[in-house]
Amino acid sequence: MITLRQLRYLSSLARHRHFGRAAEECAVTQPALSMQVRELEREIGAELVERRPGEIALTETGLEVAQRAEHILAATRDLVDFVRHREVLAGSLKLGIIPTLAPYILPRVLPLLQKQHPHLRLEVRETQTKVLTDELSAGGLDVILLALPVDGADVETLPLFDDAFLLAVPADDPLPARGRVGLRDVDQRRLILLEEGHCLRDQALAFCASKRADPAASQQTSLGATSLSTVMQMVANGYGVTLVPEVAIDAKAQDPRVKLLRFRDPEPGRSVGLAWRRTSPRARDFAALGEAIVAAHEGATSAPVRLRSRA
């Protein structure tokens, strides 16, 4: 009979492509892990792993079985959550969050969660959208906070608030501080963006799509930084301009070397929300988490924010 242990070992082996590292992750000896994978192969009646000196590769069947195993393991974790988490936002919760939200949302929401839900044990994973969605699907994360929409039919989403983009330029830029700017005011030859893989980069380029035909602009935007703070430092020192999400603006600590300008309507921006597996039994937890995030965000902004209905 196929066991969850065998599926977990195969899943780990598929990720690491190495018996030693997979065994370390599963906290077992390498021979024990190898024996269980062999037993799984005998039970299924097919070779799942190609064993080579110093390395391994999964067969075509092995890749398919490993992928199906991920879904089975995720469903099993959801079943355990259903039994364990009767109290709202209690116990362990694994939250994924993108880098262009984490430094600005977490300092506001973590104290609120600690005060309102003292029995919550929150684990946070900060990385790019693609990694988060993959880990969510595999069951490594319970819920993720990111820019919507999210690809995947097996994902449920809850929009929380809209986050407008502002144009950040050096303080001595001739553009007037009062009034609003348009797309023509964005000099894409001087546009500084985050590196490839950040959804904020893709959103900024989508807004500027009508000007991307300029070869010089394309060359400039091929470069990128790893954090918004790095981008803003480059703007402050006169190296260019950028689009910055409003959630990242701290009015009390705004750099006087940077001038922030609003766009004319319709303002560019992004929708921020939560996403989780449709099979997860913790929808009440995620709704409560969404309420806390909105409350924390609303307390940090002058304009009121209202929790939007689920898409």
Rounded to 5 degrees, φ, ψ at 57 are -140, 145
**Beta-bridge partners for 97:** 126, 145
Does residue 149 contact residue 274 with C-beta atoms inside 8 Å? Answer: no
Secondary structure (DSSP) of 225-240: BSSHHHHHHHHHTTS-
pLDDT for 243 equals 93
| Domain boundaries, given as residue ranges, for the chain | 4-83, 89-311
pTM: 0.70
Buried b (16+ CB within 10 A) or exposed e, 180-207: ebeeeebebebbbbbeeebbbbebbbeb
pLDDT for 295 equals 94
Q: What percent of the chain has pLDDT over 70?
A: 89
pLDDT top residue among 252 and 284: 284
Confidence of residue 183 (pLDDT cuts 50, 70, 90): confident
User: In 3D, which of 193, 202, 166 has the Cα closest to residue 181?
Assistant: 166
CA distance 85 to 281: 9
What architecture is domain 89-311? 3-Layer(aba) Sandwich (3.40)
> Are 4-83 and 89-311 in the same CATH fold?
no
pLDDT for 176 equals 83
Say whether pLDDT at 180 is over 50: yes
Q: What is the pLDDT of residues 195-229, one digit of tens each?
A: 877 888 888 888 877 444 444 444 444 557 888 99
Q: DSSP letter for 264, please.
A: P
CA distance 5 to 137: 19
Domain 4-83: top CATH class:
mainly alpha
